[in-house]
Amino acid sequence: RSCLDRIDSVDQQLSAFITVDEKGALEQAEQADKDRENGTAGKLCGIPVSIKDLLCTKGLKTTCGSKILANFIPPYDATVVKNLKKEGAVIIGKVTMDEFAMGSTSENCAFGIPRNPWKKGYVAGGSSGGSAVSVAAYECCGSLGSDTGGSIRQPASLCGVVGLKPTYGRVSRYGLTAFASSLDQVGPFSRSVEDCSRIMEVISGYDAMDSTSVKKDVPDYQAALVSGMKGMKIGIPKEYFSAGLDPEVESIVQNGIEVLRQQGAEVVEVSLPRTDYCVAAYYIIAPSEASSNLARYDGVVYGYRKNDMDSLEQMYRQTRSEGFGAEVKRRILIGTYALSSGYYDAYYKKASQVRTLIVNDFKKVFAECDLLVSPVTPTPAWKMGENSDNPLAVYMSDILTISANLAGIPGMSVPGGFTSQGLPVGIQLQGAHFQEEKLLRAGFNLE
Ligand code: GLN
């Protein structure tokens, strides 16, 4: 009830929610009270959680931030949502996001743009902007988002909350609307690293419904929250601190490194020489996969349909022209072009080769250290609308988060401090595949 009241009082200004399920949430909360009395309380009993509107929720509208799915009500729950419910979490509503998770500010949302709760007129980050805002503004205690190129870590950093992108395959993607299937991963937002470890325990694990999910035991993530960093070696990737990095962001991250050093971590400099190529590789691979994944929105099976057209082709064309926003169309055009015969070798194949080199760079680095510490983004949050007509500038701001998705490794953003302007800045931790425990431990020691 207190979260619903909070939503009532602040969400008109913050636009974190697309749908608030007041009735459903109160019913689930009552059930949680009963479970507690009966001694059958799950791990997240009674905890209010918001869900990015890209994840299917049974009987609850799931728009993906797009006009084309404005009235779509899924007949099933995503596996992660099912897992949350099984452990007693209360699904309080669905939150704003860039259309189909394409963007870095959540300004590409057809149903309201989330606002940075720390400073009026500033972006919340994206694409999971609503997730970050709902947690930062105390509208709920945790959230699920998705990260294809930084969409959990970046808004978490810009809004001053914890966000974790797990290893590819750690968390089921069943029921997560596909953007770029080889990069997408679901993960939690929370206000503390401990809360993050609790949500991770509930959403992780093998799922027969996702062919890329991995059969691997789920560790006791809370047990990973050990005080001190003795025995841990942290690598500082020198390419992540190069020109273009805001000096205040740099100094907050350097302070974080110092905290970890004082707690016993050994600090070494390492190199990820292909960092400069990751944005280019990503913006071929992600749109290519997206152009194929989004072919299903043709007005036939579900979603928006333009009626009264003269031919089937005209119906397809008008449905997609009216249903998709500008950024989604741009991605479909780039992807279709990169995959077309004659260009496939020059673009998609080349980008895939670069991706392999990036994977190898990480393998080498993780033979030398346990985890990497760096900024999440080169700058703090910027003013809304500032980069609206410069998509390339926005793409470039993903430079420090994208490689984790290309390599499938886990990455996390932990609040590091505030700039002189009062904007939060996160510190990024990255580890080798399935080393989430190390990230949580380091994050815990940074808090
Ligand atoms: N900003 C990136 C993009 O626009 C990443 C988005 C994401 O992780 N979903 O594609």
**Structural domain harbouring 27:** 1-447
Cα-based distances in Å from 365 to 183, 236, 358, 360:
21, 10, 11, 9
- CA-wise closest residue to 13 among 82, 88, 112: 112
- CA-wise closest residue to 216 among 174, 170, 184: 170
Which two structure tokens, joined as six digits, stand for 426?
């996160």
DSSP character at residue 348 = I
Q: Is the ipTM of this complex over 0.85?
A: yes
- CA-wise closest residue to 196 among 207, 204, 184, 185: 204
Taking the centre of ligand 1 as the mean of its atom positions, its distance from the CA of residue 343, in whole angstroms, is 23
120 is catalytic: no
- Identify whether the C-beta of residue 102 lies closer than 8 Å to the C-beta of residue 91: no
| Residue having the nearest C-alpha atom to atom 10 of ligand 1 | 102
Q: Which of 15, 50, 104, 151 is catalytic?
A: 151
pTM of the predicted structure, to 2 decimals:
0.98
> What atom in ligand 1 is closest to the CA of residue 147?
8
- 3-state SS assignment for residue 427: strand
- CA-wise closest residue to 414 among 400, 426, 396: 426
Looking at the 3D structure of the chain, how many domains does it have?
Answer: 1
Angle made by CA atoms 436, 422, 135, in degrees to the nearest 5: 45
| Residue having the nearest C-alpha atom to atom 4 of ligand 1 | 103
The CA distance from 304 to 247, in Å, is 46
Cβ-based neighbour number of residue 418 at 10 Å: 15
* DSSP H or E stretch at residue 327: helix 326-339
Taking the centre of ligand 1 as the mean of its atom positions, its distance from the CA of residue 405, in whole angstroms, is 10
Angle made by CA atoms 443, 161, 145, in degrees to the nearest 5: 100
The CA distance from 131 to 49, in Å, is 9
Is the sign of the CA dihedral 69, 6, 376, 250 positive or negative? positive
Query: 125 forms bridges with which residues in the sheet?
Result: none
- 3-state SS assignment for residue 364: helix
Widest distance between CA atoms in the chain = 71
- Identify whether the C-beta of residue 262 lies closer than 8 Å to the C-beta of residue 254: no
**One pLDDT digit (tens) per residue for the chain, 447 residues:** 999 999 999 999 999 999 999 999 999 999 999 999 999 999 999 999 999 999 999 999 999 999 999 999 999 999 999 999 999 999 999 999 999 999 999 999 999 999 999 999 999 999 999 999 999 999 999 999 999 999 999 999 999 999 999 999 999 999 999 999 999 999 999 999 999 999 999 999 999 999 999 999 999 999 999 999 999 999 999 999 987 899 999 999 999 999 999 999 999 999 999 999 999 999 999 999 999 999 999 999 889 999 999 999 999 999 999 999 999 999 999 999 999 999 999 999 999 999 999 999 999 999 999 999 999 999 999 999 998 888 888 998 999 999 999 999 999 999 999 999 999 999 999 999 999 999 999 999 999
Taking the centre of ligand 1 as the mean of its atom positions, its distance from the CA of residue 229, in whole angstroms, is 32
- Looking up residue 414, the CATH number of its domain turns out to be 3.90.1300.10
